[in-house]
Structure 1
Amino acid sequence: MESIRSKIKRRLQRFIELDVNGLRSHILSKFLSVKETTVDELHASITEKYEISRSAVASMVGYIYSKIGILRSHKESYKTPIVYSLKEEYADLIRSALESGSTQQLAV
């Protein structure tokens, strides 16, 4: 039986392989550096480097949260935005996946 950690590693690698313009890697590295953020804060920081809509950022964060499984979410009340945070036990997997993804892009 395959462990959860190895499944997440495989999902992360597949997610980064499809990164044509560096946006996916940028979002993952933002989560490594800020630890917790909202979609609005993430969108504001990403638009400095990439031209992307808020809904596209929200969609990507939702995908990372639900399909890859490296984020946790918290909502204080129904009036506040959802705060996403990185599950610390997967930070090393993200770092290694980002490093291997960047070396593969250099080789191409």
Structure 2
Amino acid sequence: MTFVTKLTFQSGNRYELESQVSDLHEMVERKGAECKGPHASPPEHHTVPQYRNLAPGDEFASWDYTVYSRKLEIHGNDHIAREVGHMEFPESIHVEIEVEQKKPLGHRNK
């Protein structure tokens, strides 16, 4: 059975996100792992209202921001995926890690 490690990166700073994901992709490939991506998702635009106090109607201008996302997949090479899972990333980048177990075709559960 092989494992697929799916990494999702999100940040409001597109340039830092691109730099970190590109460096990670190069490192994974340099170590000989199969890496798919980075895949970019469309940017998400958010608007958050800001209130001066708890009374209704008294507002500041809304806070607008954009979140950029990139996804990578590491196939096999569990030791490299484990190493990536223990890496430190800047606080401005949110990282989610999902591990999926792939069974060979024709495999039956008993």
TM-score, shorter chain, exceeding 0.5: no
- Larger fraction in strand: 2
TM-score (norm 1): 0.30
For CA contacts below 8 A with separation 6 or more, give which structure has more relative contact order.
2
TM-score (norm 2): 0.30
